[in-house]
Chain A
Amino acid sequence: MRKKKIAVKALYHILVIVFGLIMIYPVLWMISGSFKDNAQILRGTLSLIPTEWKLSNYPTGWSGFGGTTFLTFFKNSFVVTTVATLGCVLSSSLVAYSLSRVQWRGRRFWFTAMLATMMLPAQVIMIPQYLIYYRLGLVPGYAPLILPYFCGQAFFIYQMMQFMQGIPRELDEAAKIDGCSKYRIYSQIILPLLKPCIVTTVIIQFYWKWDDYMGPLLYLSRPESYTVSIAIKLFADSASVTDYGAMFAMSSLSLIPVFLIFLFFNRYLVQGIGTSGLKG
């Protein structure tokens, strides 16, 4: 009996690991590419071990362009991403609360509007949006990259609404009888119970913002203000020479912050099912 249990356990671990390695093969390939020269990368070998280790990709890539190094780009990315993520969590939870827990006129309309914001392709909204930020005098600058995140992001508003549905309404009712206002119900009951959802928002939003390059491309102009995502693209040009090694090196480095954020916040998601769940 016990033997069987161990066998099942071992099988579980082996399957998960083997499959996981297949999953991350392309990522490993990119990281190994950061130690290869262009010829090795482009020859299309699928081997992960470079025939010749080229460590110089890192210093070459890090030196950036015309004196602006990746230190600057990483700093910029970090500031923009952190502020936008904070803004997104705060504003999205506010909006989600109003749409899921408060009975007000216009609720349905705004809910529909929220979903609609995600259905028009960025390609046709891009130019009009640019014109608006431009009229507001916010271009070039970081404001257009951050401001919208303080206005709630549909993806996360809706996500939080769905999580709030799982919170029993009796909690609200009980709090109301105790004399709690809606404002206090939000901050003292709903928000704490929303923790897992907020953690996922932070993980996902941080990565999205970190990876976003259309925004920085449109709204930043001086190279010193570029973010990592657009700096990486500066290595590539289809019509001339692209230093793939340096590009992969910087791409690999740019994975580190998002991965650390994931590792840090993931702890809150793995404490086992329901151990800190609802006590309703």
Chain B
Amino acid sequence: MNGNTAVAGKGRLYRFIHHDNTVGHIFALPFIFGFVMFSLIPILMSLNYSFTDFSLGTKQADYIGLQNFARLFQDEVFGKSILKTLQYVLISVPLKLSFALLVAFVLTRPTKLVTLYRSLYYLPSLVGGSVAVALVWKQLFARRGLFNAIALSLGLPKVNWFGDAALAIYPLILMSVWQFGSSMIIFAAGLKEIPVSLYEAAEIDGANGWQRFFRITLPMLSPIILYNLIMQTISAFMTFTQAFVITGGGPNNATMLYALNVYNQAFKYNKMGYACAMSWSMLVVMSAVTLVIFKTSRHWVFNEAES
């Protein structure tokens, strides 16, 4: 597989330039540079902070060994935030991805209106964490909001969404699912890449719509599904804005997502060292989850390049 045989017999310089190791490094160079400068150093600095009582505003930070990490185990709020974050990830990611895939698939029908429709569905993702959206979201779920108005008209009891610790996370999950636009676009691009000849062949073989979806679309799209799954999982773990602007972590810490907790510790309670320890512990959890997804992906991701 090495590119060296093809260039045998040319000059040393030529061979060097075209050696896979050189090519790889050259192409990856922007990333390597950026990684070392803007990620690795900050990451190591934060690791260093996690062993100190560093707080912003004061210059003196002392090493306190593993105390920050030990504290994590006694911190009720931290324990709760981990559980809530896992709940958030486990519910929001599958919902968001299925929804994005469904809409992307439905909107590939070659109608002239598809552009309009897709814009309609992408628009919510363009407003992001804006204050306006946070406000309207709050009002939708407020005690006298739209959802309760509907519930009342159907003869159902009113629901105190943001006051009930068991329910408060669902408006946040719904908001995340609502903003499925970027996943949808990536799926749409993936769908477009599937060779039309495969569908034609299947049609000749007499496969119906469902068969074509499960036999061709899903396997061909599986690398993109894996990608969206990993990215959305990571970003769901890092969700901050929704919790920050809508519930502020309440009631009684029922929506205290981990990134919000880190923010509070670092900036509100002024314990940067502890916040860093928190991040590093969570990094371990997230790496484990990502690794599991990768391991299982071997069984369901169809790789065109290797087949």
Contacts and interface: CB of A to CB of B under 8 A. Distances in A.
Direct A–B touching, Cβ under 8 Å = yes
A66 interface: no
B179 to A, nearest CB: 10
A33 B139 CA distance: 13
Contact of A20 (B120, B182, B227): B120
Contacts of A276: 192
Report, as a range, how many residues of chain A touch the other chain: 35 or more
A247 B131 contact: yes
Contact of A272 (B18, B27, B31, B108): B108
A168 interface: yes
A260 B22 CA distance: 41
A108 B140 CA distance: 46
Q: Is the interface of B mostly helix, strand, loop or mixed?
A: helix
A124 B275 contact: yes
Given A95-B27, A200-B189, A124 B46 contact: yes
A6 interface: no
Contacts, number: 315
A127 B272 contact: yes
A26 B56 CA distance: 38
Task: Name, among A166, A183, A200, the residue most crowded by chain B CB atoms within 10 Å (CB to CB).
Answer: A166
A61 to B, nearest CB: 12
B70 interface: no
Interface in B1-33: 1-3, 6, 18, 20-28, 30-33
A222 interface: no
Contact of B30 (A122, A123, A132, A150): A150
A120 B31 contact: no
B42 A95 contact: no
Contacts of A272: 108, 110
B71 interface: no
Contacts of B186: 159, 200, 204
Interface of B: 1-3, 6, 18, 20-28, 30-35, 37-43, 45-46, 49, 56, 106-110, 113-115, 117-133, 135-137, 139-140, 142, 144-146, 149, 178, 182, 185-186, 188-199, 220, 223-224, 226-227, 230-231, 234-235, 237-238, 240, 258-259, 262-263, 266-267, 272, 275-276, 279, 282-283, 286-287, 290, 303-306
23 contacts: A12-B109, A16-B106, A30-B132, A102-B24, A103-B2, A104-B24, A110-B32, A115-B230, A119-B238, A124-B49, A132-B41, A147-B34, A151-B30, A151-B37, A159-B231, A166-B220, A166-B223, A176-B6, A200-B186, A232-B130, A248-B132, A251-B131, A274-B196
Interface of A: 12-13, 16-17, 20-21, 23-24, 26-27, 29-30, 33, 41, 44, 46, 91, 94-95, 97-100, 102-107, 110, 113-125, 127-129, 131-132, 147-148, 150-152, 155, 157-159, 162-169, 176-177, 179, 181-183, 186, 196-197, 199-200, 203-204, 207, 211, 232-233, 236, 244, 247-248, 251, 255, 258-259, 262-263, 266-267, 269-280
